[in-house]
Structure 1
Amino acid sequence: MSFFSKIFSKDKPNAGMRPLYESIVQEGRQIAWYEEGQVPDSIDGRFDMIAAIFALVMIRLEKEEDRGQDIAWLTEIFISDMDGQLRQIGIGEMVVGKHVGRMMGALGGRVGAYREALENGANLEDAILRNIFRGEKPDDAALAYVARQLAAYHAALQGLDSSEIIAGKLPDSGSAK
């Protein structure tokens, strides 16, 4: 492919990551997170759940050195989607970039917090309280549900081949019990 055809091509190199991103969003919108887990069914709550699933997928994919480009493309799709969502809810052009920057910072913090909890023995419930419930503790059963489901989801991802993950064939939280 020539230099100019790469620049002017309508094919997006990250398009192959779209099925994975759509699967992440679909999982983050599963009703059980909001009913049984008492995650706030709000814009922030939805972002927090999608970011949690996104973080678990990133933690899994980063274990393979050759998946760095895939992670970058997946992140590009996430940024583009968040930009579009912000514009759709009426965030003005002048501040969309700042909001997206904060969302990316929040995503990075979640990746670190969930990695620390799920792979290094830190308290997962504390990470969930900070990153999903934003310090507002739900009842004990709901918090335990979210922690149990995220830990099971993390474990289920470990058993998948990365090519399955890239194809968007993720476990769903209902089968991750």
Structure 2
Amino acid sequence: MLFGLFKRDTAASAAAELYAAAVAAARRPALYADLGVADVVEGRFELVLLHTALVVRRLGTEGAAERDTGRALAEAYFADMDRTLREMGIGDLGVPKRMKKISAAFYGRLSAYDAALAADDREALRQALVRNVYDGVEAPGAEGLARLVAATAAELAAQPTAGLLAGRVAFPEPSAATPAGL
């Protein structure tokens, strides 16, 4: 019984590694320079959310261990957003209200991206990305980002579940979706 208290929480451990990989993937300069995502707080927020949501989506297609890791990944994302808000100087009274909006944004975007990907509807995916990532403004990089998101979803689907449960994930390079990569 006592030794159970010291047992490593594998879902949380894997989720922390998956989240770190999603954040690293969201910070790749090509997403901003080549695909035109605004390199501001909102643009970075959207890309971290997007990469995290794609992994949560992939984990949701499997069994209980995978769903647990997906939940832990979402929790890691929310904990990071909470910490970030506090670092930005948002007070204790303002954080819960903002976290409620962040939670709604996460699950709303996850639903929109999942529906478009499940239907293999590239235009619906592009429109969701324009609405969310590009703040409703048509952008030349939106088509490339839609290609990258579709490629990422396909690559995640092909990755071994055991690797994901161990915290290992690979994201395709953004250069494959840029005009030079065509």
Fold in common (TM above 0.5): yes
Name the structure 1 match of 2:161: 162
Q: How far did 1:165 drift?
A: 2.1
Name the structure 1 match of 2:93: 94
Between the aligned partners of 1:50 and 1:68, the Cα distance in structure 2 is 20
Structure 1 gaps of 5+ residues are none
Name the structure 1 match of 2:35: 37
3-state SS in 1 of match to 2:94: helix
Which of 46, 60, 84 is the matching residue for 1:62?
60
Contact persistence 1:17–1:73 (CA under 8 A)? yes
Q: How far did 1:93 drift?
A: 1.1
Query: What TM-score does the superposition give when structure 2 sets the normalisation length?
Result: 0.86
Aligned-pair identity in percent equals: 30
Between the aligned partners of 1:176 and 1:72, the Cα distance in structure 2 is 30
- After superposition, the C-alpha distances for 1:58-87 in whole angstroms (9 at most, x for unaligned) are 111100022221122112211111111011
> Which amino acid in structure 2 is aligned with residue 137 of structure 1?
E
Q: 1:16 to 1:107 in 2, by over 3 A?
A: same
Contact persistence 2:52–2:74 (CA under 8 A)? no
* 1:107 corresponds to 2:106: yes
Between the aligned partners of 2:127 and 2:152, the Cα distance in structure 1 is 18
Contact persistence 1:153–1:173 (CA under 8 A)? yes
Structure 2 gaps of 5+ residues are 177-182
Name the structure 2 match of 1:125: 126
Contact persistence 1:27–1:53 (CA under 8 A)? yes
Name the structure 1 match of 2:179: none
Between the aligned partners of 1:32 and 1:168, the Cα distance in structure 2 is 24
3-state SS in 2 of match to 1:37: coil
Between the aligned partners of 1:104 and 1:25, the Cα distance in structure 2 is 17
Between the aligned partners of 1:132 and 1:175, the Cα distance in structure 2 is 15
> Which amino acid in structure 1 is aligned with residue 20 of structure 2?
E
Q: 1:46 to 1:108 in 2, by over 3 A?
A: same
* 1:172 corresponds to 2:176: no
Between the aligned partners of 1:61 and 1:10, the Cα distance in structure 2 is 23
Contact persistence 1:152–1:176 (CA under 8 A)? no
